């Protein structure tokens, strides 16, 4: 077989295209997996489900509220499920997910409404959220979360 410039150029293009698309497909699969975890987290917050929240969070979770209060995993789960309030709705608007190796940066606009158990008062929240997820084996776990009031 004679290899000329055209064959060499086409071969190089084909290998280059394969090298470029393979990581994109892998990143897309990870982004999909993280998106599913983020949605599961949202649903667990609405349900105030301690088992589901615990399964989604890294053991060394750092959970920062817009008030500046920082909680570890156990404190976050206790406070999120204590029944002092309940979420009527939580919406994660305009989410972005960027996977970088075994880490994922997730950002979104949080719009929610809570009802306080003590007096039935409804409290709206409008926040910007930053979540960091880390891959643990084949699973993604929430490593940290920070909120900023809008």
Task: Write out pLDDT tens, residues 32-73.
Answer: 999 999 999 999 999 999 999 999 999 999 999 999 999 999
CA distance 122 to 115: 4
**What DSSP designation does 109 have?**
E
CA distance 43 to 7: 54
pTM above 0.75, yes or no: yes
User: pLDDT of 102-124, one tens digit each?
Assistant: 999 999 999 999 999 999 999 99
Distances in whole angstroms, Cα of residue 107 to Cα of each of 91, 101, 113, 127, 135: 13, 17, 19, 11, 17
User: pLDDT of 84-94, one tens digit each?
Assistant: 999 999 999 99
Q: Can you read off the two tokens belonging to residue 86?
A: 């309940």
CA distance 139 to 33: 8
CA atoms lying within 13 Å on the CB side of residue 129:
26
Q: What is the pLDDT of residue 23?
A: 45
CA distance 122 to 113: 7
Element (H, E) at 116: strand 103-116
Q: Which residues pair with 116 in a beta bridge?
A: 85
The phi, psi pair for 97, rounded to 5°, reads: -130, 125
Given a contact cutoff of 8 angstroms between Cβ atoms, the answer to whether 127 and 147 are in contact is yes
Q: Can you read off the two tokens belonging to residue 32?
A: 């999909």
User: pLDDT of 127-146, one tens digit each?
Assistant: 999 999 999 999 999 999 99
Task: Label residue 16 by pLDDT band (50, 70, 90).
Answer: very low
Is pLDDT above 60 for 17?
no
Segment 14-33 shows an average pLDDT of: 59
Higher pLDDT, 8 or 99: 99
């Amino acid at each position: 077989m004679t290899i000329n410039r055209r064959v060499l150029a086409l071969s190089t293009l084909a290998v280059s295209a394969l090298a470029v698309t393979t990581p994109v497909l892998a990143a897309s699969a990870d982004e999909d997996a993280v998106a599913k975890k983020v949605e599961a987290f949202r649903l667990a917050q609405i349900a105030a489900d301690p088992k589901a929240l615990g399964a989604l969070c890294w053991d060394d979770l750092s959970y920062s509220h817009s008030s500046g209060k920082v909680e570890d995993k156990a404190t976050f789960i206790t406070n999120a499920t204590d029944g002092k309030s309940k979420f009527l709705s939580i919406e994660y608007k305009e989410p972005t997910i960027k996977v970088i190796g075994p880490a994922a940066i997730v950002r979104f606009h949080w719009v929610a409404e809570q009802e306080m158990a003590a007096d039935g008062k409804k409290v709206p929240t409008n926040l910007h959220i930053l979540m960091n997820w880390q891959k643990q084996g084949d699973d993604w776990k929430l490593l940290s979360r920070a909120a900023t009031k809008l």
